[in-house]
Amino acid sequence: MEIRKLFRKNGDYELYFGMRLVDNILYSGCAIGDEELETDYSLYNLCNYWNSLTDEDLESIDIDSSFFDSIVIEFLKSKNFINLVESHSDKELAILCLDNLKRRGKLNKVGEVLLQYKDLFSRSLISIGQAITREERAYWYIANSQLVSNDIEGTILYWVFLDERDKMRDIIKGIKNEYLVVIDSSFVRDAQVVDNEYIINYFNGDDICSTDYYWFDVENCDLSVGIYQGHNVDEVLRNASMVRNIDKRALKAYQLK
C-alpha cells in the first residue's frame, strides 16, 4: 500500500502520514522525510517536529480527515483481519463505512437514517463498528449486508439495537415528535412580559403609562417561542433557531406527550 503525501515538499523536507498494521491492530502513524518512513510519531510529536523544521504551525492547519479515512477504508477492504483501529472508535468506524457506501449510492434507508441521526442510534452504530472489526475484508462484509438491501424491516431487526428500533421505524414512516421550545431563563435576562391590554393599547397608539399596568417578572421563568416538530431535540432547536432568529444555545425543548 502506498504511503500518501499529506503535504508536498517544503524546502528539503516532505511530510507523510500513513498507517501500519501490527498484530491485527491498525495504528495511525506518520513519518518525515524519505529516510524516516519507518519512524512512528504521535500527532503531537509530529506537530512539534514540523514546527522545528519550518516556520509553519502545523496545529493551525486544517487537516483533511478524509485523508486518514481513505487509508482506513483501504485497510478494511484488504484481506487483513483487523481487531482494532487506533485512530477510530467503533462508532466512528461504522460511520466511516456507512458514509462511504452512501457516497457510492449503495446504502438503504436504514443506513441513511443511522448517518443522519447519529446521536439517536449510538448503540446501533457502536454495534456495527464492533461487527466490522470481527471480520476479514470488513468493509465488504458491510457492503454485502442487509444495509444495502431493500428489506427495511430485516435491516432493522439485524442491525438496529433493540431499544432503538421503534425510533427508526417512526423516522422512516415520517412520524415526528412535538416539542415545546422555550428561551432558557438564563438568557431572558431583564425581559418582562405584560398583559394583552398593554400590547393592544400600545399598537393602537393610545397615550399609555406603563405604571398603569401590571408587569410580570420572568427572572425565574422560560419564555415560549412555539411548538415545533422533529425527530430529535437538536433538529427541533435548529429549526426554531432559524425561524425565530435566536441563537440555538439560548433555547431548550421539552417533548410533549
Number of H helices, E strands in the chain: 11, 9
Helix (H) or strand (E) holding 1: none
CA 188 from centre of chain: 29
Q: What is the pLDDT of residue 190?
A: 44
131 HSE (CA, 13 A, CB side):
19
Place of cell 511530510: 15
- pTM beyond 0.85: no
Residue type present at position 17: F
Across the chain, the runs of DSSP E, i.e. the strands, are 4-10, 13-22, 25-32, 84-85, 177-183, 192-194, 215-217, 223-230, 251-255
Say how far apart CA 116 and CA 231 lie, in whole Å: 11
Grid cell at residue 165: 428500533
Between CA 41 and CA 48, with CA 42 as vertex, the angle to 5 degrees is: 85
Q: What is the pLDDT along the chain (257 residues), one digit of tens a residue?
A: 455 666 666 666 677 767 778 888 888 766 666 666 666 666 667 777 777 776 666 666 565 666 778 888 888 888 888 888 887 899 999 999 999 999 999 999 999 999 999 989 999 999 999 998 888 888 999 999 999 999 999 999 999 999 999 999 999 999 988 888 888 766 655 444 555 666 667 667 677 665 666 555 555 556 777 888 988 888 899 999 998 888 888 888 888 86
Residue type present at position 28: S
Say how far apart CA 181 and CA 254 lie, in whole Å: 7
CA 131 from centre of chain: 21
Closest CA to 34 of 5, 66, 71, 70: 5
Say how far apart CA 91 and CA 75 lie, in whole Å: 17
